[in-house]
Amino acid sequence: MLNLLDLKLGRDLRALKSQALAVALVMACGLAMMIMTRSLIQSLDDARANYYEKHRFAEVFAELKRAPESLRQQIAVLPGVAAVETGIEVSVTLDLPNLAVPASGLINAVPERRPVVLNQLYLRRGRLLEGAGTGEVLVSEAFAEANALGPGDEIAAILNGRRQELRVVGIVLAPQYVFEARPGSALPDNQTFGIFWMREQELAEAFNLQGAFNEVAVSLAPGASEPEVIAALDRLLKPYGGLGAYGRSEHPSDIRVDDEIRVLEGLSFGFPLVFLSVAAFMTHSVMSRQIALQREQIAILKAFGFANRTIAWHFIKFALVIVVVGTALGTAGGFALGRQLVDMYHLFFRFPVLAFEPATGAIVGSLVASSAAALLGVASAVRKVVRLSPAQAMRPEPPASFRPALAERLGLARYLAVSVRMALRNIERKPWQAGFTCVALAMATGILIIPNAFRDGVRHILDFQWDTVQRQTATVSLVEPGPLRAAHDFAQLPGVIHTEPFRTVLVEMAAGHRSRRLAMHGLVNQGDLNRVIGLDGRPLTVRGRGLIISEALGETLGIQPGDTVTIRVLQGKRREVTLPVGGFSQDFAGIASFMELGALNRLLGEGDQISGAFMSVAGGQWEAFLRALKETPQAAGVVIKDAMRQSFRQTTAESIGLIQVIYSTFATVVAFGIVYNSARIALSERSRELATLRVLGFSRSDVGRVLVGELVLLAAVALPLGLWLGSGMAGLLIASINTETVRLPLVLSSSNYAYATLVIVLATTLSAWVACRKLHQLDLVGALKAAE
Amino acid sequence: MAASPPPDPPLVVARDLTKTYGSGHAAVQALRGVDLDLPAGELVVLLGASGSGKSTLLNLIGGLDQPTHGELLYRGWDVAQADEAGLTAYRRDVVGFVFQFYNLIASLTARENIALITEVSRRPMSPDEALDLVGLTNRADHFPAQLSGGEQQRVAIARAIAKRPELLLCDEPTGALDVKTGMLVLEAIQRINRDIGTLTLVITHNAVLAEMADRVFTMSDGRLELARVNSHPRPVQELSW
Ligand SMILES: Nc1ncnc2c1ncn2[C@@H]1O[C@H](COP(=O)(O)OP(=O)(O)O)[C@@H](O)[C@H]1O
Ligand SMILES: [Mg+2]
């Protein structure tokens, strides 16, 4: 007997295939997102954990001016320290034959007389710096790829003012450079900034650092307290120009991986939840309808002695088939998309291996979540089946009770066409169903808003950040802080229209018990090139002792404009001041702080010094400018605005773009699914009524209007609601994925609203059209036979 | 087999009307060559066993379905050859239907159910006038769910006749009603036939009803036969069940 029921199940599914598929697709979209994001999280997490463990990534880091090698012993015996690695890291300017721009980077020392215990290198190609030798260099993979360098290639480096030819022998990765960017920059610029390794002896000689080190990394003993080790290290390094020790949570590379995972976590929850709720609602409406249609059949089954349980299970199986199809599609989709995104992570993150790892837990979770959604949807419908008494079900259902709609009760009846009245009364008779449809439509509209808000945020950054904020063509930094006069020298370079000097100094900013190490930028008062823009979009002026910090920093430190912060300079005289925060700036790249150049210099007490200059350069003389710059020994590096913009386009913008396309596609699928499903349900519920109208002499288009009227009415209510809802959801989601390193502004453009509206209108029209086409198949004669 | 020649040209004429459902082995011959002439204004009763083809014939005459073969003329216009738009107009302007299950629009009141039709017809009576004809003036603002079965059927009749159709087709109008209520409904049908002279075709199982008709046909296995012609049809009230 059960086989017969299964046969019926097959037939029912076939009859409802397009609706069942619509539900399964909505489910699949939600699950694909969940599986994709959870798998990516797992892939990143595992790749990182493996890498860190195998290559012994340190846990606490510190840079300093210079300390004797003997200090290493003292560090090693600090309580909580398990292993110590000391080394040399210096800035370098490079001259690559086929690169017009001067490149820069950091060179690290590879010790020759002792093994490396922490932050060990991973060799991708060529060889490491084994044995004796000179003029050999290892190059980080990102830089090597961007500049097509391989073992055997020659590069020229300016080491402490002296030019030296170096031969590339190996391409490597290191766990402290998973994310490789200029210090303080949120964006990779792999063509002009790289990481290099040379033999310690050679490097120390060039920089007069023999028998000394300027950076430390330590790993912690089990159970050790990181803050205590940091404090102990700070005390120990202070006399040697320590720049403040920090843990992994402030490590510029690790924090980026963390942030990415945090973004994925944000995405892995909200979206799927919305999609699955919609799927639950759709399951509910499809199943309720199915059960209403099969009233008599159910009654007969019951009369024949089928147990309630058997019949209920029959309908639950219907829902579970949808779940299985949805989960299968979702898993396949999630894997395919996840693989694509993993490939893209190569742009940001350099791991020895970053393989896509399916999160099996997420698949199980999806199955559970979608089953829960489907069961939730089917529960009340099945309850109806159980309650149905056979005798009652064999009688035709009495006509449904209606009453005049609210609008009519308010006396507006004569303004309403009959079809509108029918629609209004229908809606009022089943307010829950109408409400759910409305909410589902609003959600469909809303989720269309989110991905495009991402897109608009990115566009805003592309235009705003690099046209409104950064109006300089290039930023040139000095090898080390120099006199104000250096800016005038730069002004003499060919094509330079205007220069503005700046000073950058590493500080620790603290408020209460929260603190952050970061660069403080000293800018000229009312500067015209690199401007600081307030939250209202207007430029802020730095003057007096006023301090401006980015909103992200304000959040990190938990302060508001007007609050005071303690600033400890980590260089030079190491002064400490307490200053009020004058205002918040907006900055897509996270934490930042600004002061007036003179005020910063007074604070530092080292005279009028600058770290570099912003300059605008005439387009026609760009080549000449770069050539001259390459010959200028004081210029340590140059950041070219267009290159940064390009980098942003290729990395952040591209990944957000891909996510936007995926989500936008999914949202569109959901929008169509919901509207189509609603139209089909309406058609099924009203087919008898519509057939009657046809028999009574109404044309197909008349009847179509009656059918579509209700849907249009609901869509008209849902649309503005959805736009509002979507704006809120976009704000929430962007806030939840905004991290310290990348900040996306919430931009809600009219084109975004227009697109969402268009999709919903299109979905409604198309679904209405499909439903109206089905009117051709309406069985006029059948409608006159027994009630449904 | 053929009807006796009527004095006026008949309103509806069928010749060799055939209807086959399905094809091949599964084919069902519902009508096997029906010839029929229906004069204007008469009350015609169609009797026959279940499955004999009564509804099929009525649906063809009402323009709900098309014959497989044969001719079906309304005032000389070939219903069988009409297109979708032609059939829609025919149903809207010429035919009034009354069904076994009333088929009222549940979301509209009695008056609105009628107004729905009168708003699109050419020379309708007012909905209230139609309700008056079936004795339901006091139920005008009730929704179908608030009406008894008989009342619903009378509203359905009012809806069918409000446009003053030339043809009123009733398929087992009392099928779902008890005897007493059925009588009320039939009275209404007979009264309307007398008062406005609509050609009325009533399908029923109940042979007693033959007494109320001007003309009685019987149907069996897809073939139609004229059973009798009453020169003096009896009022419904006088019939004994
Ligand atoms: N849509 C249909 N498809 C197939 N067979 C049908 C259909 N409608 C009616 N029939 C068959 O045609 C015959 C006549 O049916 P019908 O006209 O409804 O009879 P009646 O109204 O006299 O009970 C029956 O055998 C019935 O099964
Ligand atoms: Mg019948």
Residues of B in Cβ contact (< 8 Å) with A429: 107
Percentage above 90 pLDDT, chain A: 33
Q: Which chain B residue lies closest to A428 (C-alpha atoms)?
A: B107
Best of B25, B28, B29 for a ligand 1 pocket test (most atoms within 8 Å of beta carbon): B28
Block residue for tokens 């350069």: A617
- Ligand 1, atom 14, lies closest to the CA of B53
Which pair of tokens denotes residue A411? 């006396």
pLDDT tens for each residue of A298-315: 888 887 778 888 888 888
Task: Quick: pLDDT tens for A257-305.
Answer: 998 898 888 888 878 888 888 888 888 888 888 888 888 788 888 877 7
Identify whether the C-beta of residue B197 lies closer than 8 Å to the C-beta of residue B214.
no
pLDDT tens-digit series, residues B180-195:
888 888 888 998 898 8
How much distance in Å is there from the Cα of B239 to the middle of ligand 2? Answer: 23
Question: A784 alpha carbon to ligand 1 midpoint, in Å?
Answer: 13
Query: Which segment, A215-219, A711-715, A728-732, is predicted with the most confidence on average?
Result: A215-219
Residue in A388, A408, A387 with CA at minimum distance from that of residue A397: A388
Q: Which of A526, A530, A471 is nearest to A502 (CA)?
A: A530
**CA distance linking residue A754 with residue A767, whole number of Å:** 19
Of A625, A624, A646, A604, nearest to A499 (Cα)?
A625
Q: Identify the three-state secondary structure at position B214.
A: coil
A484-534 pLDDT, tens per residue? 888 888 888 888 998 999 999 989 999 988 888 888 999 988 788 888 888
Mean pLDDT of B82-108: 90
C-alpha span between A164 and A525 (Å, rounded): 40
CATH topology assigned to domain B40-65+92-232 = Rossmann fold (3.40.50)
Given a cut of 70, whether residue B241 has pLDDT beyond it is no
What is the C-alpha R_g of chain A? 33
pLDDT of residue A480 exceeding 90: no
Provide the ipTM: 0.89
Assess contact for A186 and A144: CB atoms under 8 A.
no
Q: Which of A596, A739, A747, A746 is nearest to A186 (CA)?
A: A739
Q: What percent of chain A has pLDDT over 70?
A: 98
Query: What is the pLDDT confidence band of residue A640, given thresholds at 50, 70 and 90?
Result: confident
Pure H helices in A55-128: 71-76
Inter-chain CB proximity B64 and A422 less than 8 Å:
no
Q: Please give the full DSSP string across A374-423, using - where no structure is assigned.
A: HHHHHHHHHHHHHH--HHHHHSPPPPPP----HHIIIIIGGGS-HHHHHH
Confidence label for B3 from pLDDT (cuts 50, 70 and 90): low
Give chain B's mean pLDDT: 89
Q: What is the model's pLDDT at position B5?
A: 54
Scan for tokens 């509910």, then name that residue.
A284
Note whether B145 contacts A399, CB cutoff 8 Å. yes
> What's the sign of the alpha-carbon dihedral A760, A761, A765, A768?
positive
Task: Give the distance from residue B210's alpha carbon to the nearest chain A alpha carbon, in angstroms.
Answer: 24
Q: How far is the CA of B201 from the centre of ligand 1 (A)?
A: 18
> Per the CB < 8 Å rule, is B91 touching A429?
no
Interchain CB distance below 8 Å, B101 and A700 = no
Q: Name which of A156, A150, A142, A136 is nearest A96 in CA terms.
A: A156
Which of chain A's residues have a Cβ under 8 Å away from the Cβ of B65?
A: 780-781
Are residues A345 and A256 in contact, defined by beta-carbon separation less than 8 angstroms? no
Distance B55 CA to ligand 2 centre (A): 4
**A776 and B CB contact within 8 Å:** no
Specify the residue for token string 């519902």: B30
pLDDT at A393: 65
Region B68-88: mean pLDDT is 92
Cα distance between residue A300 and residue A321, in whole Å: 24
Spacing, Cα B54 to ligand 2 middle (Å) = 6
Distance CA B87, CA A697 (A): 8
Angle at A345 between CA A342 and CA A347, to 5 degrees: 140
Ligand with smallest separation from the Cα of B220: 1
pLDDT digits (tens, 9 = 90+) for A316-347: 888 889 999 999 999 999 999 999 889 888 87
Domains of chain B, by residue range, sit at: 40-65+92-232
Distance CA A426, CA A403 (A): 9
What whole-number distance in Å separates Cα of residue A175 and Cα of residue A119? Answer: 6
| Whole-number pLDDT of residue B4 | 56
- The Cβ-side half-sphere exposure at A344, using a 13 Å CA radius, reads 19
Give the per-residue pLDDT at A788: 45
B108–A418 CB contact, under 8 Å: yes
Strand order in B77-78's β-sheet?
B28-38, B12-21, B69-74, B77-78
Are A425 and B88 a contacting pair at CB < 8 A?
A: no
B64 vs A421, A688, A695: nearest CB: A695
Q: Given the CA of residue B49, which atom of ligand 1 is nearest to it?
A: 22
User: How far apart are the two ends of chain B, measured CA to CA in Å?
Assistant: 29
- Please choose, from the candidates A517, A588, A528, A540, the residue with its C-alpha nearest in 3D space to the C-alpha of residue A243: A517
Q: CB–CB of A697 and B95 under 8 A?
A: yes
CB contact under 8 A, B145 and A699: no
**Residues on chain A touching B66 (C-beta within 8 angstroms):** none
The tokens describing A50, both together, are 């493996």
pLDDT in tens, B97-155: 998 888 899 889 999 999 988 988 888 999 999 999 888 999 999 999 999 988 999 99
**Per-residue pLDDT tens over the stretch A5-29:** 788 888 888 888 888 998 999 999 9
Q: Which runs of consecutive H residues, i.e. helices, occur in A738-779?
A: 750-774
Instruction: Give the whole-angstrom CA distance, residue A322 versus residue A328.
Output: 10
Predicted confidence at residue A543, as pLDDT, reads 77
Whether A1 and chain B come into contact, CB under 8 Å, resolves to no
- Nearest-angstrom CA–CA distance, A418 and B2: 46
Task: Please give the torsion angle defined by the CA atoms of residues A159, A165, A170 and A172, in that order, rounded to the nearest 10 degrees.
Answer: 30
Pocket of ligand 1 (CB under 6 A): B 21-22, 28, 30, 48, 50-56
Helix (H, G, I), strand (E, B) or coil at B130: helix
Report the interhelical angle of A308-345 vs A2-15 (nearest 10°).
Answer: 50
Report the Cα A503 to chain-centroid distance in Å.
Answer: 32
Asked if B116 reaches chain A (Cβ–Cβ under 8 Å), the answer is yes
> Residue B1's pLDDT band (boundaries 50, 70, 90)?
very low
SS (HEC) of A180-244? CCCCCCCCCCCCCEEEEEEEHHHHHHHCCCCCEEEEEEEEECCCCCHHHHHHHHHHHHHHHCCCC
Q: Which residue has the higher pLDDT, A391 or B156?
A: B156
Q: Please give the distance, rounded to the nearest whole angstrom, from the Cα atom of residue B26 to the centre of ligand 1.
A: 13
CB-based contact, B161 to chain A, within 8 Å? no
Q: Mean of the per-residue pLDDT values for chain A?
A: 87
Sort strands A593-596 and A514-523 into parallel, antiparallel or unpaired: parallel
Of A118 and A785, which is predicted with more confidence?
A: A118
Pocket mutation for ligand 1, best pick of A778, A781, A784, A785 (most atoms within 8 Å of C-beta): A781
Backbone phi, psi, residue A53, to 5°: -75, -50
Identity at A373, one-letter amino acid code:
A
Comparing C-alpha atoms, which of A475, A488, A454, A481 is closest to residue A667? A454
Q: How far is CA B121 from the centre of its chain?
A: 18
Residues of chain A in contact with residue B161, where contact means CB-CB under 8 angstroms, are none
Nearest to A262 by CA among A734, A747, A745: A734
Identify the pLDDT of residue A37.
Answer: 92
In ligand 1, the atom with minimum distance to the C-alpha of B48 is: 22
B residues 17-76 lying closer than 8 A (beta carbon) to A: 55, 59, 62, 64-65
How big is chain B by its Cα radius of gyration, in Å?
Answer: 17
- Helix A418-429 with B110-118: angle, nearest 10 deg: 150
Q: How far apart are CA A2 and CA A308, in angstroms?
A: 13
Q: Which residues of B touch A787 (CB under 8 A)?
A: 101
Whether B113 has its CB under 8 Å from any CB of chain A: the answer is: no
Phi/psi of residue A137, nearest 5 degrees = -140, 145
Asked if B120 and A785 come within 8 Å (Cβ–Cβ), the reply is: no
> pLDDT grade, residue A1 (50/70/90)?
very low
Q: What is the pLDDT of residues B196-216, one digit of tens each?
A: 889 999 998 888 888 899 999
Residue tagged 């190996």 (tokens) = A170
Which of B92, B106, B171 lies at the smallest CB-CB distance from A697?
B92
Instruction: Please state, for a pLDDT cut of 70, what percent of chain B lies above it.
Output: 97
**Mean pLDDT score, A168-182:** 94
Q: Over the stretch B210-233, which tens digit does the pLDDT of each residue have?
A: 889 999 999 999 999 998 999 989
Q: Whose CA is nearest to atom 20 of ligand 1?
A: B51
Please state the rounded mean pLDDT for residues B46-54: 93
Structure letter (DSSP) for residue A542: P
- Stretch B32-39: mean pLDDT: 94
Assess contact for A410 and A424: CB atoms under 8 A: no
**DSSP state, residue A167:** E
Question: Mind telling me how many Å the CA of B238 is from chain A's nearest CA?
Answer: 30
- State the Cα–Cα distance between residues A278 and A275, nearest whole angstrom: 5
Q: Is the CB of A398 less than 8 angstroms away from the CB of B145?
A: yes
In this structure, what token pair is assigned to residue A466? 């690099």
Q: Give per-residue pLDDT as tens, A649-700.
A: 877 788 888 888 888 888 888 888 888 888 888 888 888 888 899 988 888 8
Residue A477, strand partner residues = A612, A637
Look at residue B7 and tell me whether its pLDDT is greater than 70: no
A293 in the Ramachandran plot: left (φ > 0), alpha (ψ -120 to 50) or beta?
alpha
